[in-house]
Amino acid sequence: MLNKKLPKDFMWGGATADFQYEGGFNEGGRGLLSHDYETNGSIEHPRHHTMKMPDGSLINPRSSFIDAEDVPDEAMPIFIDDQYYPSHQAVDFFHRYKEDIKLMAGMGFNVFRFSICWSRIFPTGEEEKPNEEGLKFYDDVIDELAKYKMQPLITICHDELPMELVLKYNGWASRKVIDYYVKYAETLFERYGDRCKYWLTFNEINAIRGFGPTGVRKSNGQDRYQAAHNMFVASAKAVQLGHKMMKDSQFGAMYAMSEIYPATCKPEDMFFHLQEHRENWYFIDIMGRGYYPNYAPEVWSHHNVKNIEMAPNDKKDLMDGQLDFISFSYYRSNTVKDGDKWFNVGGSTNPYLKETPWGWPVDPLGLRYCMNEIYDRIQKPIFIVENGMGAIDQPDDNLYVCDDYRIDYLKEHLSAMADAINIDHVPCLGYTMWGPIDLVSLSTGEMKKRYGLVYVDMDDLGNGTLKRVPKKSYNWMKRVIETNGLALEE
Ligand code: BGP
């Protein structure tokens, strides 16, 4: 049996995002986010924003982040009475953070990754002064974590923008948003810097190549890749500032790492796979190594990008504001073949892998593979900041869930991670599983796609008591953490 015990300072924890977890969308002076206008959905019925045209007619652009489909400049988002908007209540961490943190601490978590809601701090994004009530909320969260010796891992921006910045500036397509982001980040460093060492500048930034999250109204590659450049610069400026303001601070950004396999060893499939892979490396290379790679023009050509506008100091900023570690989410792998569309997730099936009810292939070895791949290439420590399995739970009358399938998934993935660390010697700072307490799904807005080790009594339309009940996997995870991985061998 290979040793699964992890290094003694390994960080164990969970990860969440404000608009999927926090709720309290109109409390404490919080402004609106683009996510607040997003309806719930399912695999069959994609989420959308309801938008009103000047003549009063309504349109429903399909959207995860407002930019998944072209939206006319005149369209304004509105709320419709008979629609359900999951971010408004989410699962109410806003009012239940003490109970939730206690539950997480009960498993032995020593780190909690959460995102700060930008519009809770700057309601429109443009205020001179931050919203004190918003700052105080996260003070309370961080202080509560400290009671249990859990450290915060803060995502500064998880796929979101204050709605005003989307409407007024076309989101990240405008360089103006860089300044607002840097001011927002500086406010967080000033306030929480004494209690937070690990920071993520953006969540899943490489998702820009497919569906988000830039807040631009047109889904064309030109706007998207310009927005990405502006986000790279914003991240690099925040990293430089953070390093100055907080002596020991460490910065990552977060990548959606679905390991990509070629469907066959046919040279054309192999070459397509190389190119598809570079579409992801583009983001990691620029932020992790500090410069645009040689293959950037090839990537731009896939997305009809004519020209990326850069300011004179941008190159220096990218170099000086490199990330300290590489963090990523890992849920699944993907298989591609020559002729597939770029970013054709799920385009080719992998006959060797089983899938979740949402069609996500389950591939633990893919996690070990990509940990190695990232470290081989970037040579900076890595941090797995999301992983887990969205499943349909069947609670009994006491709301207890016997989730052996989740235990199996986590056991296999954690074992693969331990092998990458112990056998391949990949330096890995920690592991924060996705959604330790059930929360709302990002892609479908459902509640029934659950990741948690703690069940939350709430349905897809927000009905339920919101009571929290530990599942079977809760005690299993507690034991894994207590033994620092050794229990994975049982
Ligand atoms: C990542 C996001 C998370 C999250 C997770 C699971 O892409 O960073 O916000 O929700 O995926 O995805 P889903 O909720 O769609 O199952």
41 lines ligand 1 (CB under 6 A): no
17 lines ligand 1 (CB under 6 A): yes
258 lines ligand 1 (CB under 6 A): no
**Which residue has better confidence, 209 or 74?**
74
Residue 342: what pLDDT? 76
15 lines ligand 1 (CB under 6 A): no
Residue 50: what pLDDT? 87
Statement: residue 86 has pLDDT above 80: yes
Residue 320 alpha carbon to ligand 1 centre in Å: 30
Q: How confident is the prediction for the chain on average, in pLDDT?
A: 94
Residue 346: what pLDDT? 60
Tell me if the pTM is above 0.75.
yes
Q: Confidence band (pLDDT; 50, 70, 90) for 54? A: very high
441 lines ligand 1 (CB under 6 A): yes
**Region 227-253 average pLDDT:** 97
Q: Confidence band (pLDDT; 50, 70, 90) for 341? A: confident
154 lines ligand 1 (CB under 6 A): no
Given the CA of residue 256, which atom of ligand 1 is nearest to it?
A: 7
200 lines ligand 1 (CB under 6 A): no
204 lines ligand 1 (CB under 6 A): yes
Statement: residue 211 has pLDDT above 70: no
Residue 236: what pLDDT? 98
The CA distance from 384 to 89, in Å, is: 28
Residue 67: what pLDDT? 56
Q: Give the pLDDT confidence of 367-418 residue by residue, as tens digits.
A: 999 999 999 999 999 999 999 999 999 999 999 999 999 999 999 999 999 9
Residue 366 alpha carbon to ligand 1 centre in Å: 18
Residue 314 alpha carbon to ligand 1 centre in Å: 31
Q: Give the pLDDT confidence of 22-49 residue by residue, as tens digits.
A: 999 999 999 999 899 999 999 888 888 8
Residue 265 alpha carbon to ligand 1 centre in Å: 31
Q: Give the pLDDT confidence of 415-459 residue by residue, as tens digits.
A: 999 999 999 999 999 999 999 999 999 989 999 999 999 999 999
**Region 53-79 average pLDDT:** 81
Look at ligand 1, atom 2, and give the residue with the nearest C-alpha. 442
Look at ligand 1, atom 11, and give the residue with the nearest C-alpha. 442
Statement: residue 210 has pLDDT above 90: no
204, 386, 437, best to mutate for ligand 1 pocket (most atoms within 8 Å of CB): 386
Q: Is 386 a catalytic residue?
A: yes
Look at ligand 1, atom 5, and give the residue with the nearest C-alpha. 442
Residue 164 alpha carbon to ligand 1 centre in Å: 24
Q: Confidence band (pLDDT; 50, 70, 90) for 209? A: confident
Domains by residue range for the chain, with CATH: 11-42+84-489 (3.20.20.80)
Statement: residue 64 has pLDDT above 60: no
Residue 442 alpha carbon to ligand 1 centre in Å: 5
Among 22, 38, 69, 386, the active-site one is: 386
Residue 278: what pLDDT? 94
Statement: residue 69 has pLDDT above 70: no
